[in-house]
Amino acid sequence: MNGGWLRWVGLAVRLGLAAVWLYAGATKVGDLAAAGRSVHAYQVLPYEVATAVGAALPFVELALGVLLLLGLATRLVAGVSAALLLVFIAGIASAWSRGLAIDCGCFGTGGELPAGQHPSYLPEILRDLGFLALAGFLLIWPRTAVSVDGALTGEPVEDEDE
């Protein structure tokens, strides 16, 4: 398999996942209390822990996005992304299985939905599985075009035999 084109596909995957994390973090960072309430709505963690996790999560998401944007520590960031996405998927599945009516809070504030409003858990899980596939790609092929990782190792952007 020729690796040159794979680095460019990897760049698109890396930038796509970076955009997801940057958007997710940016939509929550302005209201950390609401982010904490969103985490608490899952009814998995005690209130104090949920609010702390909710307040920290936007900064973690922004950091992952920036690191992916730069292409720095790509495999490590992809691994952390995959782990976080698995936690998100498990949380959504748990809320669904327990009959909770909540907004996931993935891209902004979430929490309990008003009476009569129904959550859309399956599309949220499928979306996160798609993001997990992007992280999986970067776990397998972390070397991408136009990255700090590549600049630090002196790797060429394209294979010499192209």
User: For residues 145 and 7, is the Cβ–Cβ distance under 8 A?
Assistant: yes
User: For residues 104 and 54, is the Cβ–Cβ distance under 8 A?
Assistant: no
| pLDDT tens-digit map of 51-81 | 999 999 999 999 999 999 999 999 999 999 9
3-state SS class at 1 = coil
Secondary structure letter of residue 111 according to DSSP? E
**Predicted pLDDT at 3:** 66
Amino acid at 65: G
**Predicted pLDDT at 126:** 97
Cα separation, 24 vs 27, in Å, equals 5
Amino acid at 18: A
And the tokens for 36? 């904490």
Ranges in the chain, pLDDT < 70: 1-3, 155-162
**Predicted pLDDT at 50:** 96
* 143: CB partners within 8 A, 6+ apart: 3, 7, 10, 74, 149, 150, 155
Secondary structure letter of residue 41 according to DSSP? T
CB atoms within 10 A of CB 147: 23
